Copies of this chain bind each other. A is one copy, B any other.
Amino acid sequence: MIMEKVCLVLGAGAGIGGSVGKKFAQEGYHAALARRSDEAGLNAMVSDIQAQGGSASGHLVNAVKPDAIENLIAEVEAIGPIEVVLFNLGAQIGNRSLEDTPLKTFELGWQMACNGLFRLAKVVIPLMVARGGGTLLVTSATAAVRGNEGQHSHAAAMGGRRMLCQSLNAEYARQGIHVAHILIDGAVDAPDTLGKMLGAENFAKLREARGMGNDGLLLPEKMAETYYHVSQQHRSAWTHELDLRAFSDLAWWNHAP
């Protein structure tokens, strides 16, 4: 029996994670979709991929639990060898002043966004190395390159994560592991994350202001094209870091003059 090549998505919500999973399924991968909650939503995503002739599985996982990531890898490897992993867990909690950021919140942000990646890498990279190669895609955010007011937890977690990606790349590129840090610089048209953070009404207003789901926000299914491209780059020309933003948005380093 020939096992399928697998793309595992940690953080497979209705935005980037789900869209990337769907894209890889379309391209012939088994999409292993892992998320913390909303079993119904997860099942719908799996069914949707299967209905289009793709292969997918759903995995409910609370990544901060001990052994959760480690067990997930084992579970998914039983389906097939993980060729690509997307680490798509975020730690955005909106703007919280230092005073309104409890120590627990600060620690949880780091556990999900940075420690989670370390745990994933510890388990999955040796498997990939043994197979001669693999790809680790990491969704990142502007907070990884600049701290901002109210971003104490988010920026610390994402900044640590970026440095971890560089460490992993430095240690493993020569062994065939492609680590890519994909910096999302702008609002994503994702009801599960941005939508929940803003609330339904504000999210609708933002979409309206930017073009009603057209292309004023980052569209996940368009972003997925670049995630996939990066995973397929020939090893003589790998990208380690790139940014993605909507044409209508200013880069994080720009202000209106």
Contacts and interface: CB of A to CB of B under 8 A. Distances in A.
Interface centre among A97, A164, A225, by most chain B C-beta atoms within 10 angstroms, is A164
B242 A237 contact: no
Interface string A215-254: 1111100110110010001111111111111111111111
Interface stretch (A24-32, A51-59, A173-181, A193-201): A173-181
Range of interface residues on A (Cβ < 8 Å): 35 or more
A216 B234 CA distance: 11
A237 B223 contact: yes
Contacts of A41: none
A161 B156 contact: yes
A169 interface: yes
Interface in A179-212: 189
Contact of A236 (B107, B155, B156, B247): B247
22 contacts: A98-B122, A98-B172, A110-B110, A110-B115, A118-B156, A144-B163, A148-B166, A149-B171, A151-B163, A151-B167, A151-B170, A155-B163, A156-B160, A156-B164, A158-B163, A159-B160, A166-B253, A189-B236, A215-B235, A236-B246, A239-B243, A239-B244
Given A158-B163, A237-B246, 19 more contacts: A103-B118, A103-B122, A110-B114, A110-B160, A118-B152, A147-B166, A147-B169, A147-B170, A151-B257, A152-B164, A156-B161, A166-B253, A223-B236, A226-B239, A237-B244, A237-B245, A239-B244, A242-B242, A242-B243
Interface of A: 95, 97-99, 101, 103, 106-107, 110, 114-115, 118-119, 121-122, 125-126, 143-152, 155-174, 176, 178, 189, 214-219, 222-223, 225-226, 229, 233-257
